[in-house]
Structure 1
């Protein structure tokens, strides 16, 4: 009988120890270290930006200082942004609304990342663009100015309007697809009828610009839109 009594006591002791660990684990689940709070803030902000149009977003959440120590909250944590989500520099507020309430602020930087065409070498004014001079890289939108080159092929043969440095992001404003004095092809469209002529550009122009062109056949100056390297178009 004593043997079974000892066995019962051992079983009871093990059971109490097991449940005591469960209770401790449950209490611990409401205690958050600074690194855990940072991780949860990062998960939350990523969920807010998990939209198709935000595929090219880069999020940098600053790590909370470990010296603030662990935080306890018996209620679900609340997260919100201090400014509209469109702001690049922002702050995530972590709030505990339990009886012993507290709040923390986590700095976050939200950057739009774009595919940009960059230069692989230094170029002087008037240099003709070749494929070996260009490379495509991911860059933060804040570093870009002007209209980005989206298609490398459309600028091959264009000339630089100014000196450009290696690693610089290339924009349409840096180039003239048609430069003053260039012989250009004029495409003329009228009710489905397409006619080609040659002319001489009277000014510089980039993609989409309207420039003056001297028609060699008629010897008249006309206005035409730049559509490609050494190509302009007129639609009647």
Structure 2
């Protein structure tokens, strides 16, 4: 369904028929739209407060002014329909729980802008990504189904697994910071000491991901967290003192 098209479904009996009824018995359409907007602003306010630079733009679509719903004797409330992802073009529910109950869907558009890592120049599959290849730009991430990156460190030093075009948002899935078959530096550490050893990556991995690694000396297979290009970290448990 396209945003802006009439999209109001009556899901319970609350209609006042045809020309019957007057302004005092008919629900004001503006109040329905205002309820939808207030609900969305409250829903996203916490997310905006948790980051210094994310920005959310909310647009509430039209509700047919010819709609004849019984005026609610209680404050209207908004709700998110089950299975609805409030990003891009979507719908929001507005309900009346009063003497006469009803609920409808209102078309909405939610655009989420966030500083995002993008490619400054085209790169080919197999190239190593450097900091000069990247930039941070505000991008409407609600248009993308994938999780984008907001720090260059999460992908710098990785090898591209696909071509990248100018302006394309960077994602972890596009590259491997540790690639299968790579010779790695494995840092095993705890609060008391750390030791470095050589290993071989048994699978691809990106920043922060856990991968299987084979110890070059013992041939033992361990799991480590990718912390940098061709580098993983393994936590060692301290032995209990007797």
Note whether the superposition's TM-score is higher than 0.5.
yes
Structure 1: 4+ residue segments shifted above 6 A: 36-39
Q: Distance in 1 between matches of 2:92 and 2:190?
A: 57
On the 8 A contact 2:159/2:175 being kept in 1, the answer is: yes
Gaps of 5+ in 2: 1-27, 237-242
Are 1:110 and 2:110 matched, yes or no? Answer: yes
Between stretches 178-187 and 104-113, larger displacement belongs to: 104-113
* Distance change (3 Å), C-alpha of 1:189 and 1:92: closer
Q: Find 2:47's aligned residue among 31, 49, 53.
A: 53
Give the drift of 1:160. Answer: 0.5
* 8 Å CA contact 2:36, 2:92 repeated in 1: no
Greater per-residue helix proportion: 1
Residue correspondence of structure 1 range 172-211 to structure 2 within 5 A? 172-189=172-189, 192-207=192-207, 208-211=209-212
1:221 shift after superposition: 5.3
Coordinate RMSD, CA, aligned: 4.4
Q: Is the 8 A contact 2:36 2:78 kept in 1?
A: no
How far 1:42 moved relative to its partner? 6.3
Aligned counterparts, 1:1-236, within 5 A: 40=34, 43-49=37-43, 51-53=45-47, 55=49, 56=54, 57-63=56-62, 78=76, 80-81=78-79, 83=81, 87-88=85-86, 89-91=90-92, 93=94, 106-136=106-136, 137-145=138-146, 147-189=147-189, 192-207=192-207, 208-215=209-216, 218=217, 220=219, 222-225=221-224, 226-236=226-236
Larger Rg: 1
Distance 1:82 1:199 in 2: 49
Paired residue secondary structure (2:81): coil
* TM-score (ref. length: structure 1): 0.61
- 1: CA distance, partners of 2:83 / 2:47: 14
Q: State how many pairs are aligned.
A: 203
Provide the residue aligned with 1:100 in structure 2.
Answer: none
CA gap 1:144/1:118 in 2 versus in 1, 3 angstroms: farther
In structure 2, the CA distance between the partners of 1:199 and 1:63, relative to structure 1 (3 Å rule), is same
Q: Using a 3 Å threshold, how does the CA distance of structure 1 residues 109 and 187 change in structure 2: closer, same or farther? A: same
RCO comparison, higher one (Cα < 8 Å, 6+): 2
Contact kept, 8 Å, 1:160 with 1:175, in 2: the verdict is yes
> Structure 1: which 5+ runs fail to align?
1-32, 98-102
